[in-house]
Amino acid sequence: MANEKIKFSSQLDPKVLSSAKKLAKSEGRQLQSIIEQALTDYLKINEGQKPSGEVIDAFKASFEEFTDLYQKLAGILPAK
């Protein structure tokens, strides 16, 4: 049932909604298909972009141990 649709309600900035409606009309598409495509594209772009908890924990431990080095590499402190 890949084509099954579920109704929901939301709110948008009036300018965003107006632009989406104009785009749908100019492309001969329904507004819902424009919104679905936009959300699908957004999810694809952002999928898997957040590091895992293990990566965050490893970075924190490394940063605690090598704070001065990280700051020097970032140009925050002058090299000794």
Structural domains of the chain, count = 2
pLDDT of amino acid 77? 63
Q: Write down the residue that tokens 């925050």 correspond to.
A: 76
59 within domain boundaries: yes
7 within domain boundaries: no
- Exposure string of 56-78, with b = 16+ CB inside 10 Å and e = fewer, is eeeeeeeeeeeeeeeeeeeeeee
Q: Are 71 and 77 in contact (CB under 8 A)?
A: yes
In this predicted model, which residue has the larger pLDDT, 47 or 36?
36
In this predicted model, which residue has the larger pLDDT, 37 or 50?
37
pLDDT tier at 12, thresholds 50, 70, 90: very high
In this predicted model, which residue has the larger pLDDT, 74 or 36?
36
Residues 39 and 66 in one domain: no
Residue 23 has pLDDT above 70, yes or no: yes
Residues 39 and 58 in one domain: no
1 within domain boundaries: no
Residues 43 and 69 in one domain: no
Range of the domain at 75: 51-80
Residues 42 and 59 in one domain: no
